[in-house]
Structure 1
Amino acid sequence: MKNKRSLIFLLVAISGLLLVACQPQTIEVTRIVTETIVEEGEAVEVTVVVTETEVQEVEVTRVVEVEGETMTARGAGGTVNLLWWQAASTLNNYMSGGTKESDAAAIFLEPLARYDENGNFVPWLATEIPTVQNGGVSEDLMSITWNLREGVLWSDGTPFTSADVVFTAEYCMHPDTGCASISSFDGVASVEAVDDLTVMITFEGAQPFPYGPFVGPATNVLQAAQFADCIGAAAVGCTDQNFAPIGTGPYKVVEFRPNDVTIFEINEHYRDPNRPFFSEVVLKGGGDAASAARAVLETGEGDYAWNLQVEPEILNQMELAGIGKVHAAFASSTERLVIQQANPDPELGDQRAEPGTVHPAFSDPAVAKA
C-alpha cells in the first residue's frame, strides 16, 4: 500500500516517449570549396561557395506522446484505508447535515449531478445538465426537466427510475421527516415523473438557479422501495435503512458501526465495468486530527486523512518521514462554534432552549461581552 500513502490519491494516465531516428531526409547543403586556378601564368587560390540539394541519411529525433495504459481494472487497487476522525453517525445524509455524513454517503449514494473541483456541473445519474439553451429549463424559469441515465441499477439489482427521484423529494419535503437538506428544495412546488427516465421539477416562482434539488452531496437519490415506510415521523426510527441505504454508486455498505467505522465493498451492479479501482473501502473514524495525520504521514496505517486541523509546523514535521504528503485544497466550508444562548434547563418544559429564554450564564454582562 506504499504507493497509495498520500493525503490525496489519484489515478493518473502516464505519457511515454517514442524516439524515431535515422530517417532519409532531403536537405540543402552549402559547401565552401577552395580551388586553385591559373590566371595570367600565376596560380591563384579562389574560395567558392556552392549550394547543392541532396538526399542524406541523417539522424532525426522525433518525440511522440503516447498515452500509457492506466491501471483501471475493477478492484485492482485492493483495500484503501480512509481516516475521517469525525466519524459518521448515520449513512443517510438526509438525517444529518454534517459533512462527515455526506462524505460517507457519497461513496455509495448518488445525485443527478455533481460539481467538479472547479465548480462546474457534471451530470451523474442524469444524461446532461438541463439549461434554457437545450430545453431542459423552461424559458420562464419555472421548471427544470432531468433526463436520467438508462440501465442504472441499484446495488440490489433493481432498476433506478424517475419514481426514486420523485419519492426522495417527497421524503425530504414532508414536514415531519426532519430532513437536513430541506433548504435544497426551497421554492419547489412539485416533482413529477414524466416517464421512467424523465423527471420535471416545477417551482413556485421563477427560479434563476434551478439546481438546488438533486445536485451535489446534500440531495442524493434514495431507493423508493427501501424507504417506502420511512416518510414523515417514521424516518428517524428507520435504523436499518438509515444505517445501510441501498445505492447506485460504485460501492455498497457491508458493515456500519456509528461513530466508528464503515466498510464498503464493490457494487457488482455498478454501471462502469472498469470501476471502482479499490476492491474495498474502510472509512475509519475516531481519535483526533493529529492522530489521523500521524497515521498517514508517519506510521503508514492510513492512505488518506481528512480535515487535518493541525498546526502547519506539526504537519511539516510529520511529512519529513517521507511516507505521505500534505495537500491543501480550496473549499467553501468553514468551521465554527455555535454557542447555546437559550436556557437548556429541563424544568422549563416546552420552553426549554426556546429563543425567548436566556441562558443563565449570559445573565452576567461580563460573560456576554467576553
Structure 2
Amino acid sequence: MKQIALICGSAALVGMSTMAVADGHEARGRDGEVKIIYWQAPSILNPFLSGGTKDVEAASLVIEPLARYNEKGELVPWLVDSVPTVANGGVSADLTSITWNITPGIMWSDGTPFTSADVKFTYEYCTDPDGGCAQVTKFNGVSSVETPDAQTVVVNFEQQTPFPYGPFVGGESPILQAAQFADCVGAKASECTEENFNPIGTGAYVVDEFRPNDVIVLSANDNYREAGKPAFAKVTFKGGGDAAAAGRSVMETGEYDYAWNLQLAPDVIAQMEAAGKGTPVAGFGPLVERIMLNHTNPDPSLGPDERAVIRPHPFLQDPAVYKALSLAIDRELLVEIGYGKAGKVTCNWVPAPAAVNS
C-alpha cells in the first residue's frame, strides 16, 4: 500500500523513493503508478535553462549529476564510484583539480554508454557565452575539463579551490547527453524544444509526455542501473492551480499521492488532515524568512544628490537598537501562525542541515 504524503515545507523529490524500498530482488515498477502534484507547474526539463525549483526537481527524475546531497546534507556519489577528496587522492594536494571516476556500466535510457565525453560536453554547453545557462556559476573558476579516458573526468581550476564540488554536483548541475544536445549549444540552446522537454537521461525515469505548465508522464527506465528500481512503473507529475487545491487533492480527495510546497496556514492543513486520506510531513530546509534593515539615511531633507551618497542611518548603527528590535519580535508566535510544523526559530543564516547549524 502506498503511503500518502503531503509536504508542507521545502523538500526534494528524492523523498518519493522512501515510499517503497527495493532490496534488489523485487521487480522494477512493482508499485504501479504514483501521482505527484506541484501547484507551481514545471515548464522545462533542462535545469541549465531554468533556475526554478519545480523544473530542477522534475528534471532530477530523468537526468542526474555525478554526485548529490542526501537528506542530511552529506555529499554522496551518484554516477561515480566515490566522492573525490584530498585523502583518497581524488582532489589534488594543491587544490587545483578534482578527478571523478565514473562507475562502469552506466547507460543512458536509450541504451548507449554514459561516458566522460558527456560530462565534458555539459561543461562546454553551460559555459558557452551565447547559451544563457542558468547554472553557469557552478563552473566559476574552472579552467578546463579533461577526459583522459571514457570513465575519467578531471576538472581543473584557475586557482586553489578548497570546495571543488560545484561542477556536476546536485540537481542544478546534471549531465546532458552529448549526442542528444550536440546541435543545441550556444544561441540554439533555447530553440531545442524536443531536447529540453524530453531529455535522455541516466535517471530512474524516461519522459513519455510533457505538456509544459501542465503535466509530465514518465515511465520506469528499463536501462536504470539498479535492479528492482524504481519501485513505481509510472509517474504522473501534475502542475498548476494553487496550494490549497493541491493539498485537498491529496488530503481530502486522495486523487494524488504527493504534494509539495504547500505554504498554507497550519489550521488549514490540520482541517485537511482530518479527512483521513493523507499525512502532512514538514520538511525543514535552509530557507530563512528575515527582516533586512536599510543602513542608509532616508531623511528626505537631504535631497536626491545627498541621498545618492551612502550615509549611515542616524540610529540603526547602535547595537542597543538592534537588540531592542530583536526582543520586540515574537519569533515563536510568527512561526506558529505562519508555518506550523514546517518552521523553526533560528539565529543562523543557514539553519539546515544539522551539520551546518551549529
- Tell me which interval the TM-score lies in, with the shorter structure as reference length: 0.7 to 0.9
For residues 327-346 of structure 1, what are the structure 2 equivalents within 5 Å? 327-333=281-287
| Residue 85 (structure 1) aligns with | 39
| Residue 193 (structure 1) aligns with | 147
1:311–1:153 CA distance, 2 compared to 1 (3 A): same
For residues 134-149 of structure 1, what are the structure 2 equivalents within 5 Å? 134-149=88-103
Residue 132 (structure 1) aligned to one of 62, 76, 86: 86
State how far apart, in whole Å, the 2-side matches of 1:253 and 1:179 are.
22
Amino acid corresponding to residue 5 of structure 1 in structure 2: I
Residue 331 of structure 1, CA deviation: 1.4
Residue 65 (structure 2) aligned to one of 111, 114, 130: 111
Q: Quick check: 1:6–1:323 contact (8 Å CA) kept in 2?
A: no
Considering fraction of residues, name the structure with more strand: 1
1:259–1:279 CA distance, 2 compared to 1 (3 A): same
TM-score by length of structure 2 reads: 0.76
1:12–1:76 CA distance, 2 compared to 1 (3 A): closer
State how far apart, in whole Å, the 2-side matches of 1:281 and 1:71 are.
22
Q: Deviations over 1:100-131 (max 9, x none)?
A: 01000110111000100000011001110000
Considering fraction of residues, name the structure with more helix: 2
State how far apart, in whole Å, the 1-side matches of 2:289 and 2:239 are.
18
Does 1 or 2 have the higher relative contact order (CA < 8 Å, sep 6+)?
2
1:164–1:79 CA distance, 2 compared to 1 (3 A): same
Amino acid corresponding to residue 154 of structure 1 in structure 2: W
State how far apart, in whole Å, the 2-side matches of 1:83 and 1:267 are.
21
1:178 aligns with 2:178: no
Residue 218 (structure 2) aligned to one of 254, 264, 278: 264
Q: Deviations over 1:114-164 (max 9, x none)?
A: 100000011001110000000000000000000001011101110000000
For residues 182-261 of structure 1, what are the structure 2 equivalents within 5 Å? 182-261=136-215
Which structure 1 residue ranges, 5 or more long, are not aligned?
A: 14-67, 337-370
State how far apart, in whole Å, the 2-side matches of 1:205 and 1:69 are.
44
Amino acid corresponding to residue 139 of structure 1 in structure 2: A
State how far apart, in whole Å, the 1-side matches of 2:115 and 2:245 are.
43
Q: Quick check: 1:152–1:160 contact (8 Å CA) kept in 2?
A: yes
Amino acid corresponding to residue 301 of structure 1 in structure 2: E
State how far apart, in whole Å, the 2-side matches of 1:3 and 1:322 are.
14
Residue 265 (structure 2) aligned to one of 303, 307, 311: 311
State how far apart, in whole Å, the 1-side matches of 2:23 and 2:67 are.
29
Q: Secondary structure, in 3 states, of the residue corresponding to 1:322?
A: coil
Q: Deviations over 1:178-237 (max 9, x none)?
A: 000001111010011011000000001000100000111100000000000111001010
Residue 122 (structure 1) aligned to one of 69, 73, 76: 76
| Residue 365 (structure 1) aligns with | none
Residue 4 of structure 1, CA deviation: 2.9
Q: Quick check: 2:24–2:226 contact (8 Å CA) kept in 1?
A: no
* Two-structure CA RMSD over aligned residues (Å): 1.8
Residue 333 of structure 1, CA deviation: 3.9
1:3 aligns with 2:25: no
| Stretches (4+) displaced over 3 A | 68-72, 333-336
Amino acid corresponding to residue 77 of structure 1 in structure 2: D
Which structure 2 residue ranges, 5 or more long, are not aligned?
A: 7-14, 291-358
Counting aligned pairs with the same residue, the percent is 56
The number of residues matched between the two structures is 281
1:297–1:129 CA distance, 2 compared to 1 (3 A): same
State how far apart, in whole Å, the 1-side matches of 2:196 and 2:20 are.
35
Residue 329 of structure 1, CA deviation: 1.2
State how far apart, in whole Å, the 2-side matches of 1:172 and 1:113 are.
18
Amino acid corresponding to residue 201 of structure 1 in structure 2: V
Q: Secondary structure, in 3 states, of the residue corresponding to 2:35?
A: strand
1:153 aligns with 2:107: yes
State how far apart, in whole Å, the 1-side matches of 2:157 and 2:289 are.
32
Amino acid corresponding to residue 211 of structure 2 in structure 1: R
Q: Quick check: 1:91–1:104 contact (8 Å CA) kept in 2?
A: yes
1:157–1:326 CA distance, 2 compared to 1 (3 A): same
Residue 12 of structure 1, CA deviation: 6.2
Residue 298 (structure 1) aligned to one of 244, 247, 252: 252
| Residue 236 (structure 2) aligns with | 282
Q: Deviations over 1:263-313 (max 9, x none)?
A: 000111111121000000010001101100101000000100000011110
State how far apart, in whole Å, the 2-side matches of 1:83 and 1:294 are.
11
State how far apart, in whole Å, the 2-side matches of 1:71 and 1:323 are.
30
